[in-house]
């Protein structure tokens, strides 16, 4: 179940990312935003928003191709895939988080100009909550007994020699019910944050409509 959720949610998120990037460039008439070294801090933040967003998009697109090429569970090179898959995923998330934070002061969104620093607190709180959920998942994935096999997808237990894994044929994930509970709590909070920011943006859009 964990792996199926991991796979299906990734596919959904990738589709949403591709659509978001498509509509952004469509709205910008397919032009890449340029900014010289003499531009203002806000203009530079807009340029960095574009760069970090594209890096996050490229890293997300790399993941499924890497998954198709992953070695078998018995391969001695499997740990290389496990670690690279985890590192690329977390790096993409970090770049995506930076991209969203850089979007807050942009005039196009109007979030900071209308709502002040409330969106910053919301985004900052969610980022800290995400890291907290990862720590809890790590603790739940680590069994008290010494085990040589790797944990399941939500565990991402870095304490194991071969690194985080997305599958485990040796044993079912430990404390799976608790880990699923943390997962769904995080999902609810993430959706709440997304809906809140979306409502803010829609209100700003309608306030500027004729």
Instruction: Specify if 166 maps to a domain.
Output: no
Distance, CA of 134 to CA of 144 (rounded, Å): 18
Number of structural domains in the chain: 1
Instruction: Specify if 159 maps to a domain.
Output: no
Instruction: Specify if 170 maps to a domain.
Output: no
Instruction: Specify if 110 maps to a domain.
Output: yes
pLDDT number for residue 164: 54
Task: Find the domain containing 70 and state its range.
Answer: 1-150+175-208
Evaluate whether 113 touches 107 at the Cβ level (below 8 Å).
yes
Give the pair of three-digit tokens for residue 162.
């071969």
Residue-wise pLDDT tens digits, 37-62: 677 777 888 888 999 999 999 999 99
Distance, CA of 3 to CA of 96 (rounded, Å): 23
Give the pair of three-digit tokens for residue 58.
């490229």
pLDDT number for residue 12: 92
- The residue whose two tokens read 């997808």 is 153
Instruction: Specify if 164 maps to a domain.
Output: no
Evaluate whether 125 touches 105 at the Cβ level (below 8 Å).
no
Instruction: Specify if 156 maps to a domain.
Output: no
Output phi, psi for 137, to 5 deg: -60, -40
Instruction: Specify if 56 maps to a domain.
Output: yes
pLDDT number for residue 106: 87
The band of 168, judged by pLDDT with boundaries at 50, 70 and 90, is very low
**Dihedral, CA of residue 143, residue 92, residue 13 and residue 207, to nearest 10:** 120
């Amino acid at each position: 179940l964990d792996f199926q959720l991991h796979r299906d949610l990734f596919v959904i998120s990738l589709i949403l990312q591709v659509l978001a990037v498509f509509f952004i460039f469509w709205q910008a008439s397919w032009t890449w935003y340029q900014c010289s070294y003499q531009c203002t801090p806000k203009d530079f933040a807009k340029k960095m928003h574009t760069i970090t967003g594209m890096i996050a998009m490229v890293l997300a697109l790399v993941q499924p191709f890497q998954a198709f090429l992953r070695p078998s569970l018995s391969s001695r090179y499997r740990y290389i895939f496990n670690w690279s898959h985890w590192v690329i995923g977390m790096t993409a998330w970090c770049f995506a988080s930076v991209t969203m934070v850089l979007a807050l002061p942009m005039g196009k969104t109007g979030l900071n100009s209308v709502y002040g620093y409330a969106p910053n607190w919301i985004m900052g709180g969610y980022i800290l909550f995400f890291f907290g959920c990862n720590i809890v998942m790590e603790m739940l994935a680590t069994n008290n007994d010494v085990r040589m096999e790797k944990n399941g997808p939500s565990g991402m237990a870095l304490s194991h020699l071969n690194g985080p894994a997305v599958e485990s044929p040796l044993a079912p994930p430990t404390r799976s019910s608790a880990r699923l509970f943390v997962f769904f709590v995080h999902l609810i909070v993430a959706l709440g944050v997304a809906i809140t920011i979306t409502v803010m943006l829609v209100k700003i859009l309608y306030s500027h409509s004729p």
